[in-house]
């Protein structure tokens, strides 16, 4: 006889308070429940009921919420006694979360809560309303004096800007990524009046926010599209007027598209939380715009765009899940026989659930330090994973950490006081000394919007417009725009392959690298022991997943190793890592600077400093302390997860400052401890000349993983699966494959492996262990298999299924 279901009822303050909200929020450092108005059918608080039910080989944990789950970009999880059980299945109405787990401890758990990014919010009530708080002024930047950029990216151009919209209806597109469900084609348009000829195009895509709201009850909903009776769509696509107007005034055409239909269906109905669907939306708009430019298609679009668009010069900006969406769109475009010219991609506070790479396309990732939604800044993976993803990559890429900024306030329609629908601050702990509403270092909503305007407009003006005076905002040299006010923005960057000499990427330790004195130097990757197959120890040994952007595990690549770096520690100043330069590389005079990324190890205490010694072939040397040129080894602020962050910052030594050595004869680089003791992370040691680079659309084959169906068997066995390339590659292609085990007694394991497709081959096979048994199952078991982080290829079809049939007679 089956055991009875055990039911607990508890005042789930954190979970239920969070569940009462339906704007895209995440809790703050103490993980307080985010603020916001209630859902359309419930109050702002109440009890939640959770159950633990025995199922074959494990237990099904279900949390029934009295009000719908808040609409956020992070993936909801369930946690038992504060420990995350992993991503949860969300019911279409947002009222139920379910996880099936083999963990027997859930039977005796004293609490079941909603978790986000691996952590459970605490029950801290938060304030919301129609006006954002006004914090006190922030302290000055701690290192150096920011250098003003020669061009202010937010300064208006010479063109008058005209606003317009086009709307083909709420069900104008059917999306494969949502299982055939429909969504709208709607956009706001920004046009430069009088601009002659075909103009560069920039497309904006907003992120995951509630789709609908009731203007009378001041409530939101996100479970039905089109909106239910009495409700109106939330116009998230109208929230980027600042950067759009600036760009249009400089001659760009900007189109900001709506994706409410995706938001209302992505969690329960998509394989990848809506990335494919959002990419489809962007590509459909590009197709419509291309037709309209030719005078074909919808009359309104033709009237707006005929003869006005340069479809070989396109930029994409995506906010939050929209950031992952525009990366997916760029990859979809590259897989077309006749792709558009996507020249620049900017993911803004993005999700990166499956770790796709984007080589060959200039990219800037913007990360808000006080992000209370995507609190683990997982979008950093876009930068880290793409750095060495293709040989000869011509693209420039940058990642920026915006201090004092939250997730929402880059969009006015997500900002209280200016939004037309309910909105709130996603950083909900109002008393936090770093990111709370009155913290001196927290930016006001207006200040944050100004920063977003400057850097969004600046990136596209730099890459598409060739305005080199904007490069210092992105290249790590410390340039700041006047329009960003008091904001502190840290930038790291990688120059195009042809404009840099990689001395030591530190993704592995070269045999020629010498470690001497009191030093220990070990390459680490990932965190929490998630990637044993890599053979590398974990980085971030004492951090939570919300404190380590480079190493936080991805939702669909949980065991794939991330961002190998060198962990260098020393017990006295004799500890040294010496990196020699090969003879052909010793003339570095054509480069501008020696650069690398660094961060203090989270276990280090006291002052931590490094000495960088550049030695030429004559034996002459010059030493620079990191503290003299960078604040990379100064700890970021905060004391409670998700703060502080460990994030590798730029160390840049201009070659013009190295007067004691000959740049034509550099023999080796020595990195030593300049403090009594210490530990740091190091990456990407290179001589560089920064430029905006160029795009190479469609220059790489695409790799896809193919599904399979196998019989379970009666014991240990394997399922053979295949990865396939769209075209042959002259060099080997590697791709990481993650198998995701779900259910109470899965016959596969959640494991990752690297698969190599040999040069000149189109496919390779790999095996997934399958542990069969003689028990009778009720139905075939289906498991996700995900491809990620390819090298010398990009992702085509990254998601598939392994179906295991039960072959035991009933």
Instruction: Output the six-digit token pair for 470.
Output: 């904007």
CA dist., res. 179 & res. 212, Å (int)? 21
The pLDDT of residue 286: 98
The pLDDT of residue 122: 61
| 273-308 pLDDT per residue, tens | 999 999 999 999 999 999 999 999 999 999 999 999
> What three-state secondary structure class fits 428?
coil
Instruction: Output the six-digit token pair for 581.
Output: 């330069």
The pLDDT of residue 743: 80
Q: What is the mean pLDDT of residues 362-380?
A: 98
Cβ count within 10 A of residue 55: 14
Residue holding tokens 């790799």? 703
For residue 542, CA distances in Å to 117, 204, 528, 604, 673 come to 16, 38, 9, 11, 22
Q: What is the mean pLDDT of residues 714-741?
A: 95
The pLDDT of residue 146: 62
CA dist., res. 553 & res. 785, Å (int)? 16
- Asked if residue 21 has pLDDT above 70, the reply is no
Strand partners, 401: 367, 490
**Angle in degrees, CA 676, 551, 117, rounded to 5:** 125
**Angle in degrees, CA 431, 435, 438, rounded to 5:** 55
CA dihedral in degrees (509, 513, 514, 519; nearest 10)?
-40
For residue 552, CA distances in Å to 437, 530, 577 come to 26, 10, 27
| 763-798 pLDDT per residue, tens | 999 999 999 877 777 688 999 999 999 999 999 999
Confidence of residue 105 (pLDDT cuts 50, 70, 90): confident
The pLDDT of residue 144: 52
Asked whether 360 and 696 are in contact (CB, 8 A), the reply is yes
Of the candidates 478, 673, 500, which has an alpha carbon nearest to the alpha carbon of residue 595? 500
Pinpoint the alpha helices (H) of 387-542. 445-463
Write phi, then psi, for 445 (nearest 5 degrees).
Answer: -60, -45
Q: What is the mean pLDDT of residues 38-46?
A: 29
- Asked if residue 20 has pLDDT above 60, the reply is no
CA dist., res. 642 & res. 548, Å (int)? 9
Mean pLDDT, rounded, of the chain: 89
The percent of residues above 70 in pLDDT, for the chain, comes to 90
> What three-state secondary structure class fits 196?
coil
Q: What is the mean pLDDT of residues 631-637?
A: 97
How many Å is the Cα radius of gyration of the chain?
Answer: 26
| 221-258 pLDDT per residue, tens | 999 999 999 999 999 999 999 999 999 999 999 999 99
Instruction: Output the six-digit token pair for 653.
Output: 């030594």
For residue 531, CA distances in Å to 689, 750, 798 come to 35, 11, 20
CA dist., res. 455 & res. 243, Å (int)? 8
> What pTM was estimated for this model as a whole?
0.90
| 143-156 pLDDT per residue, tens | 455 678 889 999 99
- Asked if residue 119 has pLDDT above 90, the reply is no
- Asked if residue 83 has pLDDT above 90, the reply is no
Q: 8-22, 52-66, 768-782 — which is least confidently predicted?
A: 8-22
Strands (E), 300-395: 309-319, 342-348, 363-368
Of the candidates 714, 785, 699, 715, which has an alpha carbon nearest to the alpha carbon of residue 750? 785
- Asked if residue 134 has pLDDT above 70, the reply is no
CA dist., res. 256 & res. 75, Å (int)? 25
The pLDDT of residue 582: 95
Residue 803: which H helix or E strand, with range?
strand 799-805
Residues belonging to the chain = 810
Asked whether 368 and 28 are in contact (CB, 8 A), the reply is no
- Asked if residue 23 has pLDDT above 70, the reply is no
CA dist., res. 686 & res. 261, Å (int)? 45
Residue 547 DSSP label: S
Contacts of 605 (CB under 8 A, 6+ apart): none
CA dist., res. 766 & res. 748, Å (int)? 14
- Asked if residue 371 has pLDDT above 60, the reply is yes
Q: 56-60, 237-241, 636-640, 784-788 — which is least confidently predicted?
A: 56-60
Confidence of residue 425 (pLDDT cuts 50, 70, 90): very high
Q: Half-sphere exposure (CA, 13 Å, Cβ side) for 650?
A: 28
Write phi, then psi, for 613 (nearest 5 degrees).
Answer: -110, 125
Asked whether 467 and 344 are in contact (CB, 8 A), the reply is no
Of the candidates 364, 345, 149, 157, which has an alpha carbon nearest to the alpha carbon of residue 246? 157
* Residues 807, 558, 398, 576, CA torsion sign: negative
Residue 394: which H helix or E strand, with range?
none
Instruction: Output the six-digit token pair for 417.
Output: 């006081």
Tell the burial category of 263 from Cβ atoms under 10 Å away from its Cβ (0-12, 13-18, 19+): buried
Confidence of residue 14 (pLDDT cuts 50, 70, 90): very low
Q: What is the mean pLDDT of residues 195-214?
A: 98
Q: What is the mean pLDDT of residues 70-80?
A: 88
The pLDDT of residue 411: 98
Asked whether 729 and 792 are in contact (CB, 8 A), the reply is yes
The pLDDT of residue 117: 87
What does DSSP say about strands 799-805 and 708-711: parallel, antiparallel, or unpaired? parallel
**Angle in degrees, CA 586, 591, 597, rounded to 5:** 95
Contacts of 13 (CB under 8 A, 6+ apart): 33, 45, 123
Instruction: Output the six-digit token pair for 585.
Output: 């590389």
Residue 56 DSSP label: T
- Asked if residue 28 has pLDDT above 50, the reply is no
| 588-629 pLDDT per residue, tens | 999 999 999 999 999 999 999 999 999 999 999 999 999 999
Residue holding tokens 């690297």? 754
For helices 275-293 and 321-334, angle between their N-to-C axes, nearest 10 degrees: 60
Tell the burial category of 144 from Cβ atoms under 10 Å away from its Cβ (0-12, 13-18, 19+): exposed
The pLDDT of residue 216: 96
| 642-652 pLDDT per residue, tens | 999 999 999 99
CA dist., res. 310 & res. 183, Å (int)? 27
- Asked if residue 18 has pLDDT above 90, the reply is no
Tell the burial category of 106 from Cβ atoms under 10 Å away from its Cβ (0-12, 13-18, 19+): buried
> What three-state secondary structure class fits 289?
helix
Instruction: Output the six-digit token pair for 769.
Output: 């262990």
- Asked if residue 262 has pLDDT above 90, the reply is yes
Instruction: Output the six-digit token pair for 171.
Output: 């069900």
In angstroms, the first-to-last Cα distance of the chain is 17
> What three-state secondary structure class fits 65?
coil
Confidence of residue 809 (pLDDT cuts 50, 70, 90): low
Confidence of residue 22 (pLDDT cuts 50, 70, 90): very low
CA dist., res. 523 & res. 567, Å (int)? 6
Asked whether 527 and 540 are in contact (CB, 8 A), the reply is yes
CA dist., res. 86 & res. 784, Å (int)? 14
Contacts of 278 (CB under 8 A, 6+ apart): 177, 205, 259, 262, 318, 321, 322, 324, 325, 326, 328, 329
Concatenating the DSSP letter of every residue in 225-266 gives SSPPTT-EE--GGGS-HHHHHHHHHTT-EEEEE--HHHHTTH
Q: What is the mean pLDDT of residues 481-510?
A: 97
Q: Which residue has the higher pLDDT, 66 or 487?
A: 487
Instruction: Output the six-digit token pair for 695.
Output: 């795009």
CA dist., res. 198 & res. 196, Å (int)? 7
Instruction: Output the six-digit token pair for 704.
Output: 């896809």
Q: What is the mean pLDDT of residues 359-373?
A: 98
């Amino acid at each position: 006889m089956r055991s009875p279901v055990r039911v607990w009822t508890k005042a789930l303050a954190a979970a239920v308070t969070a569940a009462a909200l339906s704007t895209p929020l995440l809790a703050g450092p103490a993980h307080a429940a985010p603020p916001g108005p209630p859902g359309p059918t419930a109050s702002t608080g109440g009890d939640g009921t959770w159950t633990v039910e025995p199922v074959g080989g494990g237990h099904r944990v279900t949390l029934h919420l009295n009000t719908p789950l808040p609409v956020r970009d992070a993936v909801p999880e369930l946690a038992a006694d504060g420990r995350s059980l992993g991503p949860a299945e969300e019911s279409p109405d947002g009222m139920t979360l379910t996880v099936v787990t083999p963990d027997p401890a859930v039977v005796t758990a004293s609490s079941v809560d909603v978790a986000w990014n691996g952590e459970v919010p605490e029950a801290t009530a938060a304030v919301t309303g129609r006006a954002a708080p006004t914090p006190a002024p922030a302290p000055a930047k701690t290192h150096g004096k920011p250098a003003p950029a020669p061009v202010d990216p937010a300064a208006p151009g010479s063109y008058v800007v005209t606003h317009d919209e086009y709307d083909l209806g709420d069900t104008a597109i059917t999306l494969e990524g949502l299982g055939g469900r429909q969504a709208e084609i709607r956009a706001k348009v920004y046009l430069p009046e009088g601009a002659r000829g075909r103009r560069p195009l920039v497309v904006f895509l907003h992120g995951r926010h509630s789709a609908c709201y009731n203007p009378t009850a001041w409530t939101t909903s996100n479970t039905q599209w089109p909106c239910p009776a009495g409700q109106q769509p939330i116009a998230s696509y109208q929230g980027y007027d600042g950067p759009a107007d600036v760009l249009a005034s400089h001659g760009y055409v900007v189109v900001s598209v709506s994706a409410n239909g995706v938001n209302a269906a992505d969690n329960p109905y998509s394989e990848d939380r809506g990335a494919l669907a959002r990419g489809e939306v962007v590509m459909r708009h590009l197709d419509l715009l291309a037709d309209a430019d030719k005078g074909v298609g919808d009359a309104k679009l033709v009237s707006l765009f005929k003869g006005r668009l340069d479809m070989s010069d396109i930029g994409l900006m995506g906010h939050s899940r929209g950031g992952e969406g525009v990366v997916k769109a760029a990859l979809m475009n590259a897989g077309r026989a006749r792709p558009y010219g996507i020249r620049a991609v900017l993911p803004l506070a993005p999700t990166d659930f499956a770790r796709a790479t984007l080589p060959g396309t200039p990219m800037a990732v913007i990360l808000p330090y006080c992000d209370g939604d995507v609190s683990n800044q997982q979008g950093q993976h876009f930068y880290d994973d793409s750095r060495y993803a293709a040989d000869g990559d011509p693209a420039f890429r940058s990642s920026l950490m915006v201090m004092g900024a939250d997730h929402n306030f880059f969009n006015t329609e997500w900002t209280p006081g200016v939004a037309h629908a309910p909105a709130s601050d996603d950083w909900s702990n109002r008393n936090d000394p770093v990111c709370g509403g009155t913290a001196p270092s927290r930016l006001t909503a207006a200040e944050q919007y100004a920063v977003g305007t400057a850097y969004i407009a600046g990136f596209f003006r730099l890459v598409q417009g060739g305005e080199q005076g904007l490069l210092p905002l992105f290249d790590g040299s410390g340039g700041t725009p006047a329009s960003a006010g008091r904001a502190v923005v840290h930038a790291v960057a990688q120059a195009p392959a042809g404009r840099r000499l990689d001395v030591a990427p530190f993704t592995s330790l070269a045999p020629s690298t010498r470690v001497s004195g009191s030093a220990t130097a070990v390459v680490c990757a990932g965190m929490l022991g998630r990637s044993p197959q890599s053979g590398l120890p974990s980085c971030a040994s004492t951090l939570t997943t919300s404190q380590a952007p480079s190493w936080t595990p991805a939702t669909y690549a949980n065991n794939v190793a991330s961002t190998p770096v060198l962990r260098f520690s020393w017990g006295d100043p004799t500890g040294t890592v010496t990196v020699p330069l090969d003879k052909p590389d010793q003339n570095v005079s054509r480069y501008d600077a020696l650069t690398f990324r660094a961060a203090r190890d989270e276990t280090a205490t006291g002052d931590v400093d490094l000495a960088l010694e550049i030695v030429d072939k004559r034996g002459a040397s010059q030493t620079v302390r990191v503290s003299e040129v960078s604040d990379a080894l100064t700890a970021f602020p905060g004391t409670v997860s998700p703060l502080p962050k460990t994030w590798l910052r730029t160390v840049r030594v201009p070659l013009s400052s190295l007067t004691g050595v000959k740049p034509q004869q550099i023999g080796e680089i020595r990195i030593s401890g300049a403090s009594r003791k210490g530990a740091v992370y190091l990456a990407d040691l290179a001589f560089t000349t920064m430029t905006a680079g160029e795009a190479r659309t469609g220059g790489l084959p695409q790799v896809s993983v193919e599904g399979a169906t196998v019989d379970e068997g009666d014991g240990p066995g394997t399922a053979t699966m295949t990865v396939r390339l769209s075209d042959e590659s002259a060099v080997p292609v590697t791709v990481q494959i993650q198998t995701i085990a779900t259910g109470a007694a899965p016959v596969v394991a959640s494991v990752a492996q690297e698969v190599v497709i040999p040069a000149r081959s189109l496919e390779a096979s790999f095996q997934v262990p399958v542990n069969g048994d003689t028990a009778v199952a009720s139905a075939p078991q289906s498991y996700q298999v995900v491809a990620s982080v390819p090298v010398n290829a990009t992702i085509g079809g990254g998601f598939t299924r392994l179906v295991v049939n039960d072959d035991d007679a009933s």
